[in-house]
Chain A
């Protein structure tokens, strides 16, 4: 197997809590992203998926664990090493309106990473910016314009062009289509799939939308309350979900097909997500799990292989 682009081992990110107990936003997460692969990270709000992506790009310091990018350890690395590695990992955020500086022309925004790192200037920089804009489906003359002159979908294209400027090995996308209208979402999803295929670039794709994740990802990791509960190749995850939470999530997604949607068995998940500053003992999902037993309330389930999947559930076999 080729060396992974990103290797995350036992990553934890804790934030100081108001009442003393730390908020365990991410609490022992391990996964790897292979070259050219898109790994989806799904879960509901507060599960820690955005904190994982922020830690991967270096926006929040890990409390514990290891983050290796192209084989280089990021935690505890020198400034110079971090500076080099950060060029290899670029990020696309959710809201293209707030991630572009309104006073910077599109050309300046897209060219800035190249300029900052001294990789191009003058005519060469302009030529590179034109190329990048064309690659994301915009026109070279758009470089002169400002973000407010573009629609939401076009702005997300600009953000993507900027993220591609340094030819990263890993693109981290945090909910890249959630802020977009349905009719422009498809344009951006098509672009992302096309870029994966053309550039062979690896990505970490964070989203709460399972249909979107299934559309663009090769493997999918499901997160609940700061931990991974399941990680599997896309088709295996959607065909035979091993963890009861994955099952519940899949059942809860309303499908845009009234016949299929109304025929679905209704297995509503009771209750609410517990607080990450006071997670339940044992399996953190036991408070909402219809299959929970005494063992689940006491013993943290191991992260173990089962068929093609990795799963953290004591009863995964009996569910199949």
Chain B
């Protein structure tokens, strides 16, 4: 099946700093790909580059984006505008901040269809019911301040999906929500992606969210993909030392309490500190001179996975 979205060798720069370096992935219709990493790893700017919503200071220095096989990298802004919210949509972390405080719920959703609310009221009511908003007939005329965070996130999902986009980019959609509400929203996203065959790129820092909802994972570190593959394999047997340490450093409900957690020494390098080699080398227990001298390419691990580590075979 043709992927709904393909990103190839995407590179982004801020001044001379190479923030995102040759990032690539693809997502099939109905599939959920998690783009996971810590703050500053470049996961959010990657999504912004796909939507072409980059801050003016950021430049795309290479790579292309294909939507249903069509290269949209060079599309004029006018044509991009026709795609945003139609063929591909995005939802954001802070639902209350992303909604217009002066527009009602119904106006927001109708705008995604580019029609006046009175023409599409029934369709909007149906969408509100589909995203699990109780009493849609009352909610449709309310303003964002009258809704809770979880409810606002449902409204944003309704806005994003009413035009049946092929691709949904969800940037930390549950980070600002409580766990019981997060569970509701993740269930909703999973159900809608499956029913509507939407390809979802889920950006998150939470390995629990990844384990819950993603079919495949791309782990990012300092602007590069460290490892990518099916979710079950990544968690069962990571092929990159960063993924492996990250998973070992998370306290779990099944661990021995007060045991010593694995630690990743040091901190993420700033773009000014990026050297010629592997960007994880300064914190990696397996790093040697090769790692510090050359960039490890993403190699095929022959099990559906790619790893950017010279020593992937040495991992247990």
Contacts and interface: CB of A to CB of B under 8 A. Distances in A.
Contact of B261 (A189, A251, A254, A260): A189
B184 A268 contact: yes
B18 interface: no
B182 interface: yes
A194 to B, nearest CB: 8
Interface stretch (B61-69, B123-131, B137-145, B208-216): B208-216
Contacts of B259: 215
Interface stretch (A55-63, A65-73, A124-132, A205-213): A205-213
A216 interface: yes
Interface in B2-40: 38-39
A64 B39 CA distance: 42
Given A182-B207, A261-B208, A262-B212, A190 B260 contact: yes
A183 interface: yes
Interface string B137-165: 00000000000101100000000000000
B38 A258 contact: no
A276 interface: no
A255 B206 CA distance: 10
B205 A182 contact: yes
B258 A216 contact: yes
Contact of A185 (B151, B209, B249, B258): B249
A258 B259 CA distance: 23
Given A252-B182, A254-B183, A211 B212 contact: no
Interface string B180-199: 11111011000000000000
B313 interface: no
Pick from B178, B182, B209, B268 the residue with the most CB of A within 10 Å.
B178
B178 A45 contact: yes
Contacts of A255: 208, 211, 252-254
Given A182-B249, A261-B211, A272-B148, A256 B258 contact: no
Contacts of B251: 186, 189, 211-212, 214-215
B186 A254 contact: yes
A187 interface: yes
A151 to B, nearest CB: 4
A254 B206 contact: yes
A119 interface: no
B231 interface: yes
Main secondary structure of the interface of A (DSSP, over half): helix
Contacts of B205: 181-182
A234 interface: yes
B34 to A, nearest CB: 11
Contacts of B212: 254, 258, 261-262
Contacts of B236: 259
- Chain A interface size, as a band, is 35 or more
Nearest to A196: B258
Contacts of B208: 253-256, 261
Interface string B202-234: 000111111110000000000000000001100
Contacts of A190: 260-261, 263
B231 A214 contact: no
A257 B233 CA distance: 11
Interface in A133-173: 151, 153
B183 A211 contact: no
B39 A258 contact: no
A34 interface: no
A193 interface: yes
Nearest to B212: A254
A211 B187 contact: no
B179 interface: yes
A186 B261 contact: yes
B53 interface: no
A258 B250 CA distance: 14
Pick from A181, A183, A193, A273 the residue with the most CB of B within 10 Å.
A183
B211 A256 contact: yes
B189 to A, nearest CB: 13
A183 B212 CA distance: 20
Pick from A45, A182, A260 the residue with the most CB of B within 10 Å.
A182
A248 interface: yes
A13 to B, nearest CB: 21
B289 interface: no
B247 interface: yes
A174 B183 CA distance: 24
Contacts of A273: 148, 178
A249 interface: yes
B38 A181 contact: yes
B119 interface: no
Interface in A257-289: 257-262, 266, 268-269, 272-273
A319 interface: no
Given A182-B205, A214-B255, A252-B183, 14 more contacts: A182-B38, A182-B246, A183-B38, A185-B249, A186-B251, A187-B263, A197-B258, A215-B261, A253-B208, A254-B186, A255-B253, A258-B232, A269-B184, A272-B181
Q: Which 10 A-B residue pairs are closest in the complex by CB-CB distance?
A: A254-B208, A186-B249, A44-B178, A256-B207, A215-B251, A186-B261, A252-B183, A183-B264, A181-B38, A254-B212
Interface of B: 38-39, 148, 150-151, 178-184, 186-187, 205-212, 231-232, 235-236, 245-247, 249-255, 257-264, 267-268
13 contacts: A151-B267, A181-B39, A182-B207, A182-B246, A190-B260, A211-B250, A214-B251, A215-B255, A215-B258, A215-B259, A255-B211, A268-B180, A272-B150
